[in-house]
Amino acid sequence: LGRNKKKSFSSRRVSALRWGILGPGRIAHDFTSTLLVSGCTVTAVAASHDNEITSAHSRAKMFAERFSIPNYYGKYEELASDPNVDIVYVATTNQNHMGPTLMMLRAGKNVLVEKPTTVTYEETKIMYDEAKKRGLFLMTNHWTRFFPLITYLRRTFLASAGKHVLDESEEQIFESTTYTSN
């Protein structure tokens, strides 16, 4: 009891995560493009805070249409309650990361938050404590690590150095277990 048994790559099952995008701006555009190129599923997008040009709902709809995302919302609460979202990418402005992240965690969603995580240590600690309390994944996004080009370069470098290169299924498992919220 109390001991973790390591499982081999071949005995683990990987299921596709269903992504939600919170804050459909330029960074979210780049990240969503990378998700889709990588074969990930994006099921919803939410915008909030109407601006002078368009409503939040309209911005979410335009983003959804651009990426063929089936669900779009004009309120973050709607994304939080969407049962078809497993993990949310928070791409709001830096000073606005904490509120939406806590909302998603409290709704039972795993979260990937754009860097910097927050603007203060105290806010970051609150977010990670909430994730830990709920047993959820929370990570700061260093998204260039997951670019297809970076994956290619990493594999090429490892192969040229005579290192074992994981096949695609092993690499997916490795990437999904590399980081934890602890």
* Mean pLDDT value across residues 127-147: 81
pTM of the model: 0.70
Q: Which residue has the higher pLDDT, 114 or 85?
A: 85
What b/e readout covers 126-157, taking b as 16+ CB neighbours within 10 angstroms? Answer: ebbebbeebebbbbbbebeeeeeeeeeeebee
Give the pLDDT confidence score for residue 143 in this predicted structure: 59
Give the pLDDT confidence score for residue 140 in this predicted structure: 80
Element (H, E) at 21: strand 18-22
* Mean pLDDT value across residues 78-104: 90
Q: How confident is the model at residue 145 (pLDDT cuts 50, 70, 90)?
A: low
pLDDT, averaged across the chain: 78
DSSP characters over 42-94: EEEEE--S--SSS-HHHHHHHHHHHHT-SEEESSHHHHHT-TT-SEEEE-S-G
CB-CB contact of 110 with 135 (8 Å): no
pLDDT at residue 78 greater than cutoff 80: yes
CB-CB contact of 85 with 18 (8 Å): yes
* Mean pLDDT value across residues 146-151: 68
Give the pLDDT confidence score for residue 53 in this predicted structure: 55
| pLDDT, tens digit, 9 for 90 and up, residues 109-129 | 999 888 877 778 899 899 999
Distance CA 116, CA 1 (A): 39
Geometric angle at alpha carbon 47, from 44 and 48, rounded to 5° = 140
116: preceding bond cis by omega (within 30 degrees): yes
| pLDDT, tens digit, 9 for 90 and up, residues 2-55 | 333 443 333 344 458 899 999 998 888 888 988 888 788 999 999 986 665 568
Distance CA 151, CA 174 (A): 12
| pLDDT, tens digit, 9 for 90 and up, residues 169-182 | 444 444 444 434 43
Q: How confident is the model at residue 151 (pLDDT cuts 50, 70, 90)?
A: confident
Distance CA 61, CA 107 (A): 23
